Amino acid sequence: MNYKRWTFVAVGLLGIGIVSGLAMPDQFANLFAEDLAALKELSSILGPFKITTAVFIFLKNVSALILSFIFSPVLCLAPVLALLVNGFIISFVSILVLQEESLGILLVGLVPHGIFELPALIMGEAAALSFGTMALAALISKERRKQLKSNLRQNLRYLIIAFLLLLPAAVIETYITPLFLT
């Protein structure tokens, strides 16, 4: 399967995660209240307009993609879970913001850095899915074993492009988005 198809699979998995978050009953929101409190505490430590915040966001996102790529040969569980969970979190947090704020606040909070971060996530996880399935197929087929090295090289290129997209996303999330939210 070529990379373009894996991109569609990645978008589909992210979409399933988003729908799952939208369909979650309100009583489950309490399960995540503790996690949200921890995130708020972390955001107060890092805060907007600090280089350490941008570096933290960038490294967190890059390390998540690297781990997903490295562990993708294990039945592609890491990239599948990453896409589902990220989609779920996007919709879950969106619902919480809409309950307390407005659609405008939600869009201002997500769109500026999301223009870079979502394509980076999709691109990186599609590369992980492509490599993971090729690595699994290489265990079974000699023909696929011969293709594994070129598949790895191609997917590493996409992963690097995803990393490059995460850099402006982190900078925008740290320096631009807070200007619109205050």
Q: Give CA separation, 159 vs 9, 41, 54, 105, 179, in Å.
A: 16, 31, 20, 31, 30
- Look at residues 117, 132, 121 and name the one whose alpha carbon lies nearest to residue 176: 117
The pLDDT tens digits of the residues spanning 103-147 come to 999 999 999 999 999 999 999 999 999 999 999 999 999 999 999
pLDDT digits (tens, 9 = 90+) for 56-70: 999 999 999 999 999
For the chain, the average pLDDT equals 91
Where residue 45 falls among pLDDT bands split at 50, 70, 90? confident
In the prediction, which pLDDT does 72 show?
97
